[in-house]
Amino acid sequence: MMYYFDHSATTPLHPRIKELMVNVGELHFGNPSSIHAPGQKAKTLIETARGQMAKAIGCSSNEVIFTGGGTEANNLVLWDITHQQKKHVVTSVIEHPAVLNVLDNLEEFGVTYTAVSVDEAGVVNPEEVKNAITEKTGLISIMLANNEMGTIQPVAEIAVIAKKHGIIMHTDAVQALGKISINAKELSVDCMSFSAHKFYGPKGVGALFVRKGFQLKPLIIGGNQERSLRAGTENTSGIAGLGLAAELATKNITDTQFHLDSLTNAFHKQISNLFPDAIFNGHPEKQLPGLVSISFPGFRSDLLMIHLDRRRIAVSSGSACSAGDIKPSRILSAMSIEDDINICTLRISFGIGNTLQDVDYLTQSLKSSLEQIRSAA
């Protein structure tokens, strides 16, 4: 049995979604662009999923575009800035590589960007975003919740600033759906990115909210699928899976939040008793449920992960390990966390399938692992 505590990386496919996708793949394989019955049935399934996704995020069905994942959704928005007169982007230092690396690559097309800092809890200051705006700013892209820390950002407040200055507002919400309530109208954003595999759906399929009236240029040219924004025959089974995943994730969100909070609180309590020197990173309140960033000073995260893996426990680290070397996490560094603490940090992300007994096993395994590492030193 594997004890999986890495749900921020990906989630297991929900059994109901697996059943649906197999059914769609076997029985409803028609091309959605075809006018015959099998094609129209596939098209109906896609539109049903579009409605499910729209309901999950509080928007209209015609504001949902299906993509190949969160990375593609981000790219679709970011590349559009190359077609605009105003080519300056305001973002943050803690964005996912699917935002920052894209912006780096867009520099050869005349795009520039300013990455604002975060405080010691990992939260962006809206005033700093406001101060970074120039007469050439055409886009603001700030994630809704950070994938490593779980800090929830003041996106709605930043969107007000963007609107006041006539600037496009995008948020990467990949980590947030199914953990916190999301309403596109309340957030007042123009675009918002999602990925199904983060909320118990399939990999390789995502969605982009595009506010009605806002025009984007396509990345992939070809047919007229997805309002001509994403050419290519649709992944019907994947899209159907995303739709059901979004429905289930939001329908049960209150229960999910309670469950994840219970697991997190139990973990906090046990760790605080066993390891008083452990450091919990991030904001105490503006935090995704179920995501914990914790540092064990003096114990490198790569060694801890090896010991935990031997005990059939899957967790992750923000640090990059390569050829025996370990590099500090840029997210933690942005929060002014010293390198010697940074490289001793684990990310533990609970899911709906975890139990309090799993938490007990995790904390006892951490205790044993730390003792073994200490004795071997």
Contacts for 248 with CB less than 8 Å, ≥ 6 apart: 14, 16, 17, 200
The phi-psi region of residue 293 (left if phi > 0; otherwise alpha if psi is between -120 and 50; otherwise beta) is beta
Q: Which residues pair with 327 in a beta bridge?
A: 320
Residue type (1 letter), 76? L
The domains of the chain are located at: 3-10+253-367, 15-251
Phi and psi torsions of 131, nearest 5°: -70, -20
Asked if CATH classification 3.90.1150.10 holds for the domain at 3-10+253-367, the reply, yes or no, is yes
Q: Give me the pLDDT at residue 376, please.
A: 81
* Predicted local confidence at residue 325, as pLDDT: 61
**What is the tens place of the pLDDT at every residue in 328-365?**
999 999 999 999 999 999 999 999 999 999 999 999 99
Query: Among the CATH numbers 3.40.640.10, 3.90.25.10, 3.40.50.2300, 3.50.50.60, which is that of 15-251?
Result: 3.40.640.10
Q: How far is CA 84 from CA 153, 162, 283, in A?
A: 26, 16, 36
pTM: 0.95
Q: Supply the pLDDT for residue 365.
A: 98
In contact, 146 and 175? CB cutoff 8 Å: yes
Distant-in-sequence, close-in-space partners of 50: CB < 8 Å, separation ≥ 6: 61, 64, 66, 243
Cβ atoms of 201 and 17 within 8 Å: the answer is: yes
Torsion of CA 230, 236, 241, 243, to 10 degrees: 60
Dihedrals φ, ψ of 120, to 5°?
Answer: -70, -15
pLDDT of residue 322: 44
Query: For the chain, which residues score pLDDT lower than 50?
Result: 322-323
pLDDT of residue 323: 42
**CB < 8 Å & 24+ apart, contacts of 224-229:** 225/32, 225/33, 226/65, 226/66, 226/67, 227/62, 227/65, 229/65, 229/76
Q: Which of 128, 203, 142 is nearest to 176 (CA)?
A: 142
d(CA 256, CA 300): 32
Residue whose token pair is 């007042």: 188
Rounded Cα distance, 201 and 203, in Å: 7
Instruction: Name the DSSP letter for residue 243.
Output: H
Distance CA 24, CA 46 (A): 11
Q: Given the DSSP bridges, would you call strands 191-195 and 88-92 parallel, antiparallel or unpaired?
A: unpaired
Active site residues: 321
In order, the DSSP letters of 272-337 are HHH-TT-EEES-SSSB-TTEEEEE-TTS-HHHHHHHHHHTTEE-B-SSEEETTEEE--HHHHHTT-
Instruction: State the pLDDT at residue 326.
Output: 78
